[in-house]
Amino acid sequence: MIFSQVPVGTMQNFSYIIGDAASHKAVLVDPAWEIDKLLGLCGDAGLSVCYVINTHSHHDHVEGNDAIVQRTRAKVVAHQSAPIRKDIAVSDGDLVELGSLRIQVIHTPGHCPDHICLLVDGKVLTGDTLFVGECGRTDLGGGNPGAMYESLFNKLMKLDDATEVYPGHDYGRKPSSTIGEERRTNYTLKPRTKEEFIKFMAEP
Binding residues vs Fe ion (CB under 5 A): 58, 128
> Closest CB to Fe ion among 111 and 123?
111
**8 Å CB contact between 100 and 23:** yes
> Closest CB to Fe ion among 21 and 84?
84
Nearest residue to Fe ion, by Cβ distance, number only: 58
> Closest CB to Fe ion among 19 and 167?
167
What is the separation of C-alpha 158 from the centre of its chain, rounded to a whole number of angstroms?
17
Radius of gyration of the chain (CA): 16
DSSP summary character for residue 183: H
Q: Give, rounded to a whole angstrom, the gap between the first and last alpha carbons of the chain.
A: 41
> Closest CB to Fe ion among 83 and 122?
83
As a whole number of angstroms, the distance between CA 175 and CA 50 comes to 26
Residue 112 CB, nearest distance to Fe ion (Å)?
6
> Closest CB to Fe ion among 25 and 58?
58
> Closest CB to Fe ion among 7 and 180?
7
Residue 29 CB, nearest distance to Fe ion (Å)?
13
What phi, psi does 197 have (nearest 5°)?
A: -65, -40
Residue 199 CB, nearest distance to Fe ion (Å)?
23
The residues pairing with 82 across neighbouring beta strands, listed in sequence order, are none
Q: Which residues contact 173 (CB under 8 A, 6 or more apart)?
A: 132, 133
Residue 60 CB, nearest distance to Fe ion (Å)?
7
**8 Å CB contact between 19 and 47:** yes
DSSP summary character for residue 187: G
Residue 172 CB, nearest distance to Fe ion (Å)?
16
Residue 64 CB, nearest distance to Fe ion (Å)?
15
